[in-house]
Amino acid sequence: MRPRLHERIAQARAQRDAQSRIRVRRHVARRDGVRYEVDGHWLVGFCSNDYLGLAHQFGVVNALQDSAARDGAGGMASHLVCGHHQVHDALERELADWLQVPRALLFGSGYLANLAVVQALLGDDDVCVQDRLNHASLIDAARLAGCKLRRYPHCDAEGALRQLRSVPDVGAMVATDGVFSMDGDLAPLRELALVSRVQHALLYVDDAHGVGTLGPDGRGSVAAARLDTTAVPLQLVTFGKALGSYGAAVVGDADLVRHLAETARPYIYTTALPPAQAAASLAAVKLARREHWRREKLEAAIARFREGARKRGFELMASNTAIQPLPCGDEEHALAYAKALEAQGFWISAIRPPTVPEGKSRLRITLSALHTPADIDALLNALSWARDAIDQGFGNGAPALEHA
């Protein structure tokens, strides 16, 4: 008998509910730096990816407004029809100059860009070898491309080598996050570059969380690992994180990038990024390149948080980036923490399966150049307080916390 889709999704939802895996959206009414008015309360946020504090930066917002007044609100058509604007070109050139690569190509989002790269380069018989903790968009990209997907244990370059050796005669790509989005640690890029070279595989680095924050002039994890386009022919830059804007670019080898521009379906069959959005990204890139103080402030925030957490007996994960997860184990524990923190005026999201593996729920604390030492100390005190409250059994749903 044919299954009823309505019944099936109702059952799946009941199961998610029983596992504390229902996701709800919160309503942000206003934002002022790291402070958010959420559902009628002001909270200090430690969950955005605006690591350099560029999303509200005056010049970035101004660039968007100026361009929108001139060029309109929309992208109007795909890049290959009449949607490719001068400012798109300027942004691509600025990126190529900053990241010291031959060419850059804009995409509507990082998600789309990942779909494009894998689809345009790999066919049905080829293999995409990926880190087990890669971002969902890379996994989906391999699935949609129809190629074989082989995963290796987290950060295990030898595991990648074994996977490549098991399929010696097909086209191969090794794809990895540069900075892992839920763990904050770095991929072993130099080892992966070596493995890729000896196996004639193409190394693709998704640097959504690295560009802007890491490496010389904020050029990202590839530059931090002292690798160039020969070793890493393609990398992903996203504008929605450290650059405070929206959209993405694939940068690297000129022939490969041209191939994407001419053949990738997620490039051809979608509306161009609005020029105003590209103008905002361009302004943000210029600031990210030269305002080193933003990275310095971010680094100071990371160091202060890690030291304070250690002093208070918290076990953090091995991350030195802006992503500082606090392991919680099961989803109830993570939710109890998030709730206790919110009661004290902090907004931090509890990350649960399927975003992370079973038993690896966590608070994903993210730091920004805009957090002051006082913000961080207050968060640390709130974390200690939340831990005590949860240990005493006032965790999930305790009314005492609601009014703290």
> Measured at the alpha carbon of residue 219, what is the angle toward residues 84 and 35, in degrees to the nearest 5?
85
Q: Does 135 bind ligand PLP (CB under 6 A)?
A: yes
Q: Output 339 or 352, the one with its CB closest to ligand PLP.
A: 352
Q: CA dist 100 to 8, 72, 106, 183, 286, Å? A: 51, 31, 16, 28, 14
Residues contacting 177, CB < 8 A, separation 6+: 131, 133, 134, 135, 138, 187, 205, 206, 207, 208, 209
Q: Which of residues 159-198 bind ligand PLP (CB under 6 A)?
A: 177, 181
Provide the token pair at 398: 């305790």
Q: How far is the CB of 1 from ligand PLP (least distance, A)?
A: 39
Q: Does 208 bind ligand PLP (CB under 6 A)?
A: yes
Q: Is 53:370 a contact under the CB 8 Å cutoff?
A: yes
Q: How far is the CB of 238 from ligand PLP (least distance, A)?
A: 4
Q: Does 364 bind ligand PLP (CB under 6 A)?
A: no
Piece of 109-117, 250-258, 279-287, 342-350 that binds ligand PLP (CB under 6 A): 109-117
Element (H, E) at 86: helix 86-99
Number of residues this chain uses to bind ligand PLP (CB under 6 A): 14
Q: Does 109 bind ligand PLP (CB under 6 A)?
A: yes
Q: CA dist 245 to 51, 95, 203, Å? A: 12, 14, 26
Piece of 106-114, 139-147, 300-308, 387-395 that binds ligand PLP (CB under 6 A): 106-114
Q: How far is the CB of 108 from ligand PLP (least distance, A)?
A: 8
Piece of 18-26, 204-212, 254-262, 312-320 that binds ligand PLP (CB under 6 A): 204-212
Q: Of how many residues is the chain composed? A: 404
Residues contacting 377, CB < 8 A, separation 6+: 304, 308
Choosing from 150, 209, 297, 304, the residue that interacts with ligand PLP (CB under 6 A) is: 209
Q: Does 238 bind ligand PLP (CB under 6 A)?
A: yes
Element (H, E) at 318: none
Which residues form the interface with ligand PLP (CB under 6 A)?
Answer: 109-111, 114, 135, 137, 177, 181, 206, 208-209, 238, 240, 248
